[in-house]
Amino acid sequence: QFGANSGGGFVDQNRAEYVIRNIGRTTRIEDLRSLVVTTKQGQSIILSQVATVGYAPRFKRGDAGANGQPAVILSVQKQPGADTVALTRAVERALADLGKTLPPGVKA
């Protein structure tokens, strides 16, 4: 839960309601290095004592393939109350319209 923001409820003062927020996010890697991960015999063990903490390239996400070629995969998740038949038809229409504008060698 390092760096998580959370709600703190609200307080009423002078006919006004104020929202309480607990801002825990940080942009400092030193804060992460100093994070207590456990205690042993009453002593705090911090993350930098058990791991190397530093910056690294992000993992590439979203790679996809079809028939051994690079591709884009579209996933649609149903929302409560959504008409999946109407949504499917709308997606199919949008893909057909998109297909008209794709460069040579790219297909939907």
pLDDT in tens, 17-44: 888 887 777 778 898 899 899 999 999 9
pLDDT of residue 2: 62
Q: Which band of pLDDT confidence, cut at 50, 70 and 90, is reported for residue 10?
A: confident
> DSSP letters along 17-42, please?
EEEEEE------HHHHHT-EEEEETT
Q: Which band of pLDDT confidence, cut at 50, 70 and 90, is reported for residue 50?
A: very high
The mean pLDDT value for 72-92 works out to: 85
Closest CA to 35 of 24, 46, 51: 46
Kindly report, residue by residue over 51-68, the tens digit of the pLDDT. Answer: 999 988 877 777 888 888
Instruction: State percent of the chain over pLDDT 90.
Output: 29
